[in-house]
Structure 1
């Protein structure tokens, strides 16, 4: 007589064993330690600038291009994208590898923006270029 026949001949016993195994598994699952959930969203740093009276093409050529050239290659950067609007706004977002220290990344981007500052139009320098962290507050 094999194990299969044993449980076929005793269906109530087989059901009890199955229920006990599920309860033990559920208790074990709840007892598993979870140190920390992984960081899913990569850190981002935003660079914003205003060039009053300029169109999107002018902003792209005179503001976005110098900033992108200077910021490109900052340590831990994955990619960046920029959006120049027709009302004189520039939004440049720099995305870093997950696990990158966001404060250090912000300082590095700010240093690169400072290096590009002399190449920017006077109106942009007057208004200032803001570098902000994409950190969410909860």
Structure 2
């Protein structure tokens, strides 16, 4: 006796089992929770450094670059951006 023999001998039972599986699957599908915008936490850190009177070039080379080198040693950082302006620099990790 093989696995398919009872299904071949009893086609009505086979149809009823398949209908039951279909109904159970449709009911389960309807009960699945679905959200269009799930709540996902993207951990970010913003660091702001100020040096009054410094030019954007000075902020980028003397402050932002040094901080970026230090922050790059932290494990697990995927992305880092920095913006330097007159007397301020902002680094987003």
Runs in 1 of length 4+ with deviation above 3 angstroms? none
The aligned length equals: 68
Superposition pairs for residues 47-62 of structure 1, below 5 Å?
47-62=47-62
Gaps in structure 2 of 5+ consecutive residues? 1-21
Paired residue secondary structure (2:47): strand
Q: Deviations over 1:87-117 (max 9, x none)?
A: 21111011xxxxxxxxxxxxxxxxxxxxxxx
Name the TM-score, length of structure 2 as normaliser: 0.59
- CA root-mean-square deviation: 2.7
Name the TM-score, length of structure 1 as normaliser: 0.41
Q: CA 1:38/1:73 → structure 2, altered by over 3 Å: closer, same or farther?
A: farther
| CA distance in 1 between partners of 2:70 and 2:28 (Å) | 53
| CA distance in 2 between partners of 1:77 and 1:45 (Å) | 11
Superposition pairs for residues 59-70 of structure 1, below 5 Å?
59-70=59-70
| CA distance in 1 between partners of 2:72 and 2:30 (Å) | 46
Once the 2 structures are TM-superposed, how far is the Cα of residue 31 of structure 1 from its aligned partner?
A: 1.8
Q: Deviations over 1:65-99 (max 9, x none)?
A: 111111112011012110001x21111011xxxxx
Once the 2 structures are TM-superposed, how far is the Cα of residue 28 of structure 1 from its aligned partner?
A: 2.8
Please identify which structure carries the higher helix content: 1
Corresponding position: 1:92 with 2:69: no
Please identify which structure carries the higher strand content: 1
Paired residue secondary structure (2:45): strand
